[in-house]
Structure 1
Amino acid sequence: MTQGRLTRRAVALGLGSLPAAALLRSRPAAAAPVTLRLSSSLPADPNSAHWLWYDRFAASLKAKAGDAVQVRYFPDNQLGKESDVVGSVKLGVVDMMISGSSIWSTLAPEIGVLDLGYLFPTMESAGPILDGPAGSQLDRIFSDRIGVKVLSWGYSLGGRNVTAREPAATPAAMKGKKIRVLPVANFVATLRAMGASPTPMSLGEVYTALQTGVIDGMEHDAPTILAIKAYEVAKHVTLTRHICNPQTIVIGTRAFNKVPAEHREAFLAAAAEATAYQRSQAAAIEAKALATLKGNGVGIHECDRAAFRSLVTPLWDEFAKSYPATKPILAAITQA
């Protein structure tokens, strides 16, 4: 509206005694956009579980809230290592984080329940279970013990399998094999129960360790095996699917309070839409990765999953005894 038109409108409204400039100054200023930072340890790649979620979330949020709330993605540990970022999200230094659930057990060990072997029958079964009572109980641990909000539970791109220089289809074949694992208590315990000699190691060291024989194999999902080219030095993938822990999308309490009240519903709806999309794509991405591995000369082997599971499930009771708060969570998961 031009200054002249504004003046004429002011006269019509009985405000003619006010200068036009004063009327212009009295108009409420538009709220500045809120910008949040989301940390990820993975690259901004279409085959990354993290990017898959974020890309859909950002598009959905823009459609629902315009530019009022924006989330910037920082891949490849640009905001720090996961072990540091969890504390930064708690303190409000970093706004959001997407990661495997395991890292949060460093702040609340009960969350490690999700790292127990053979807890979920498949990756696809984890989502509906965590959308129910089990997830609600875990959400409260995140909120009450850590002070952050779980936006949703996404999928890893398939269960974790054993990739090695030889097949590992039975506990006898696994016995004594040095298998790289995440340095997480229940990962180590699970592989040990399966018969392996678990060897914690950073992912960046794995290729050379396989190449030189320092380790016999590693455990991870198929897209990761493809991405780090582990198939060049380990020609067998055994579909143990021993751990199907979820991806966890978390926002700090302070960060969530930055989201204007009128846009919070849109923000949460965008997160839910992104999670549904990511879940819908995970199985196809895993299948494509396995097919590519096979095309690169990798043997893909089924295994005696029941035998492995029978060795691992006693760990569930041991964990519940150590952390009684997880007993109802385990019950909700296993009875779902």
Structure 2
Amino acid sequence: MFRKALVLVALVAMMAVSSVSFAQDPQVLRIGMGDPIDSEMGAIATRFKEIVEGRTDGKVEVQIFPSGQLGDETEMIQNVRRGNLDMAVVGIANTVPFVKKLGILTLPYLFENMYDVVRGATGPAHEMLNEFAIKEGGFRVLGWTYTDYRYLSNSKRPIKKLADVKDMKFRVPQSAVILETYRSWGANPVPISWAETFTALQQGVVDGQCYGYITFQAAKFNEVQKYITEVHYTYQLQPMMISERLYKKLSPEMQQLVVEAGREAQEYCLAFQLVDAGRAKAELIASGIQIDTLEDEAEWKKLAIDNVWPKMTDFVGGQKVLDRYLGYIGKK
């Protein structure tokens, strides 16, 4: 009888501790993101919401604000760093001004295939990048959004070989690495914020842009672009981040929950991307978009690697940092 009473007391005490601990956690988590809700960013954020709300029995609500509702991506990153915004899903290039070492992920032809991509976003490679994000950026990466290769689209002509891209104007993010990559091909890169990209394409400020099929369709770029070329110079791993200031205030239980939810949402996002990209591609073709492959991508790759990597190695942290990351993805 005494033992049963003791167990009952212990259970009550555990419930009380859990309740008090949870009461200190936020009741609402707000996630801002740059892309539309029906993009890969939307997929990872929505799955994160489902997991967190499900495992807290709805006591924590996750609110998602897509398509730049909370400002452009640079503004969202700043607010996450300051603790004014809980979470954000943003383009990797927009994090580089805050954490230059994350620019490793924008180096041209870093990933040879999807095996490299997955290795680059999990295990020790993830831990390395996340360490830089926490220490230098003030944010923690809970998951990586798989958003496909940055295929080239434009409104002028099919691009099948290097000569076709010469002097064409392409919208690119504010990324030193990506700017150098386009210049190595003889193209004219123009940094424009993501929120202003559709208007820039519509008004002819630039001829084209680069993104994967799902978000190309979700952003309705097919209304202002006619041609897409499958160029494999960079696979976009976009971070879903949480404010480190907020994270440190969470109870241990809540910290574990958001980390697990982020990892599981990342796994879901990979499956979503692999399946839904084929659907988006087929629908774009049916709508009249012409999709081409390069006849000479080996030449694109050589120019990018020979010209960009030597210039940008120090920018992304130096040879030792780069070699460490390459080792984690099996390329060293």
TM-score by length of 2: 0.83
**Helix, strand or coil at the partner of 1:113:** helix
Identity %: 28
| Aligned residue number for residue 50 of structure 1 | 41
The alignment's C-alpha RMSD in Å is 2.5
38, 50, 53: which one pairs with 2:31? 38
Contact 1:179/1:217 (8 A) holds in 2: yes
Give me the whole-angstrom Cα distance separating, in 1, the residues matched to 2:123 and 2:196: 38
| Aligned residue number for residue 313 of structure 1 | 305
Q: What amino acid is the match of 2:278? A: A
Deviation per residue, 1:65-115 (Å, 9 max, x gap): 323433222223233322122122112111111112211111122211211
**Helix, strand or coil at the partner of 1:245:** strand
180, 184, 187: which one pairs with 1:193? 184
| Aligned residue number for residue 150 of structure 2 | 160
| Aligned residue number for residue 106 of structure 1 | 97
Give me the whole-angstrom Cα distance separating, in 2, the residues matched to 1:111 and 1:296: 36
Give me the whole-angstrom Cα distance separating, in 2, the residues matched to 1:232 and 1:221: 16
222-231 vs 34-43, greater mean Cα deviation: 222-231
1:61-100 paired onto structure 2 within 5 Å: 61-100=52-91
Contact 2:150/2:212 (8 A) holds in 1: yes
Give the gaps of 5 or more residues in structure 2. Answer: 6-15
Q: What amino acid is the match of 1:237? A: I
Give me the whole-angstrom Cα distance separating, in 2, the residues matched to 1:48 and 1:244: 15
Give me the whole-angstrom Cα distance separating, in 1, the residues matched to 2:63 and 2:206: 38
Q: How many pairs does the alignment contain?
A: 308
1:226-305 paired onto structure 2 within 5 Å: 226-303=217-294, 304-305=296-297
Q: What amino acid is the match of 1:160? A: R
Contact 1:176/1:197 (8 A) holds in 2: yes
Give me the whole-angstrom Cα distance separating, in 2, the residues matched to 1:207 and 1:146: 29
Instruction: Mark the structure with the bigger radius of gyration.
Output: 1
230-239 vs 300-309, greater mean Cα deviation: 230-239
* CA 1:248–1:29: 2 relative to 1, 3 Å: closer
* CA 1:316–1:42: 2 relative to 1, 3 Å: same
**Helix, strand or coil at the partner of 1:246:** strand
**Helix, strand or coil at the partner of 2:236:** coil
* CA 1:214–1:268: 2 relative to 1, 3 Å: closer
| Aligned residue number for residue 164 of structure 2 | 173
236-245 vs 76-85, greater mean Cα deviation: 76-85
1:134 aligns with 2:125: yes
Contact 2:119/2:125 (8 A) holds in 1: no
Contact 2:40/2:215 (8 A) holds in 1: no
TM-score by length of 1: 0.82
Q: What amino acid is the match of 2:216? A: I
Q: CA deviation at 1:28?
A: 8.9
Give me the whole-angstrom Cα distance separating, in 1, the residues matched to 2:54 and 2:29: 17
Give me the whole-angstrom Cα distance separating, in 2, the residues matched to 1:41 and 1:137: 25
Q: What amino acid is the match of 1:244? A: Y
Contact 2:40/2:269 (8 A) holds in 1: yes
1:147 aligns with 2:143: no
Give me the whole-angstrom Cα distance separating, in 2, the residues matched to 1:232 and 1:183: 24
| Aligned residue number for residue 3 of structure 1 | none
* CA 1:213–1:259: 2 relative to 1, 3 Å: closer
* CA 1:81–1:215: 2 relative to 1, 3 Å: closer
Give me the whole-angstrom Cα distance separating, in 1, the residues matched to 2:17 and 2:233: 57
* CA 1:103–1:115: 2 relative to 1, 3 Å: same
Contact 1:123/1:245 (8 A) holds in 2: no
